[in-house]
Chain A
Amino acid sequence: MPPPWRGWPRWGFAVAEAGAPPGWSYNPSRWGERIPILALALVGFAIASYLAAFQLGLVKDVFDPFFGDGSRTVLTSGVSRVLPIPDAALGAIGYLADVVSGLVGGRERWRTMPWVVILFGLAVGPLGATSILLVILQPVMFDAWCTLCLTSAVISIAMIGPAFDEVLASAQHLRRVQRDGGSLWRAFWVGEGVR
């Protein structure tokens, strides 16, 4: 999410930044936009990896400053073992997918690499949705809260809004290519099309 003043000089009309999509006041793919999301994803990855290490028995105890045994109850619950790998390990993989798909591509990747941007959106969105579900399950099914699980959920939700401006820019770009009679397929994979 850009600060509201970005691209808007004090005298009040929009000056598009270099590399900004048509009709945009800023470029959502510039590194200044992407690095904060990448930082969040890395923190999420670290937390999820730590929780997975506990679930795999690599760490004996799990840190919880507020809810005592709550973290242990949540992390050793039946739900956490529904899948072949512990749920925190799946979360760590999800965050890693965010990092990789957030990192790949240049500063105009909304137009040069739409497939990565869409993949990025697909990695960020469902991770957040899953974490909401897991937050609900903590008190409803196990009568317990887990501090680091909640922290991870907050991080994954916080990434959604900032990540989706790029997704919108890529979707608008593909729509323009399609309207102009260009190849949607090529624009999606190779990044050709208008301009």
Chain B
Amino acid sequence: MWWQLLGAAIGVGLMAVPGVLSLPRPVADAFHILGPLAAAFGAIAASPILRVLRRVQLPIGLGVAVSPLALGSPPAAIAIGIIAGVALVAVAFAPGARMERFGGGWRALIG
């Protein structure tokens, strides 16, 4: 749960970065789009029932790491993007939830 809430916190932080650093348009938009997504999926995946959705942080994290480089930004934004992006990728690979208490989870629906 804490890993996922960390992902959510990183997402909220990314939402604030463009305003704090007065970033130019394209990279500001990237943070403003990927930040809320990371925050939302972090909060949703904090619930053991929907922990599988933590995997979504992988593409989001890659986007966060790469977009400041690709869109041209001040060094501070590039550094923040790489650190936050790598952290989100790590969150995507955090341990899953044990589904024994939930009748086997979503897996019980197939097969």
How near does chain B come to A91, taking the closest CB pair, in angstroms?
A: 16
Contact of B40 among A26, A128, A164, A171 (CB under 8 A): A128
Chain B interface residue number, banded? 20 to 34
Bound complex: CA A7 to CA B101 (Å): 9
Q: B36 near A168 (CB under 8 angstroms)?
A: no
Q: A172 near B49 (CB under 8 angstroms)?
A: no
Against B, the Cβ 8 Å flags (1 = close, 0 = not) of A134-164 are 0110011000000000000110011011101
Q: Is A71 an interface residue (CB 8 A)?
A: no
How near does chain B come to A10, taking the closest CB pair, in angstroms?
A: 16
Contact of A139 among B28, B43, B101, B103 (CB under 8 A): B28
Contacting chain B: which of A17-25, A42-50, A76-84?
Answer: A17-25
Chain A interface residue number, banded? 20 to 34
B contact residues around A154 at 8 Å (CB): 43
B contact residues around A164 at 8 Å (CB): 47, 49-50
A contact residues around B49 at 8 Å (CB): 1, 161, 164-165, 168
- State which residues 77-109 of B face A: CB under 8 Å: 100-106, 108-109
Q: Is B48 an interface residue (CB 8 A)?
A: yes
Bound complex: CA A24 to CA B105 (Å): 9
Q: Is A62 an interface residue (CB 8 A)?
A: no
Main secondary structure of the interface of A (DSSP, over half): helix
Q: Is A175 an interface residue (CB 8 A)?
A: yes
Q: List, sorted by A's number, 22 A–B pairs whose CB atoms are closer than 8 Å.
A: A1-B46, A1-B49, A7-B101, A14-B100, A21-B103, A22-B103, A132-B37, A135-B36, A136-B36, A139-B18, A139-B28, A139-B29, A140-B33, A161-B44, A161-B46, A161-B47, A165-B47, A165-B49, A168-B102, A169-B102, A172-B108, A172-B109
> Other than the known A171-B109, A175-B108, what 6 A-B pairs have Cβ atoms closer than 8 Å?
A23-B108, A24-B102, A136-B32, A157-B44, A161-B44, A162-B47
Chain A residues packing against B (C-beta within 8 Å): 1, 7-8, 14, 21-26, 128, 132, 135-136, 139-140, 153-154, 157-158, 160-162, 164-165, 168-169, 171-172, 175
Chain B residues packing against A (C-beta within 8 Å): 15, 18-19, 28-29, 32-33, 36-37, 39-40, 43-50, 100-106, 108-109
